Amino acid sequence: MSGHILVVDDEVGIRELLSEILTDEGYDVHLAENAESARAFRSQRRPDLVLLDIWMPDTDGVT
């Protein structure tokens, strides 16, 4: 069973790069472009790991 990783970043290039690398390593990757999308995903499924951009336009990844 592969781990489930949620990647949250407002930059599409970063999301795509991380997704490609992690998928190649056998992980199940879900991408979110903002905090709202990440929260919606998180309310339905609990990822094993969240990679979170700490500086996004709608919120920061710290608070």
Give the model confidence (pLDDT) of 2-15 as tens digits.
Answer: 899 999 999 999 99
- Write down all domains in the chain, each with its CATH number in brackets: 4-52 (3.40.50.2300)
CA distance 5 to 59: 20
In 3D space, the residue among 57, 61, 60, 63 whose CA is nearest the CA of residue 11 turns out to be 57
Task: Chunk the chain into consecutive blocks of 10 residues (it has 63) and report each block's average pLDDT, rounded to whole numbers.
Answer: 91 98 97 94 96 85 71
Whether the full predicted model's pTM is greater than 0.85, yes or no, is yes
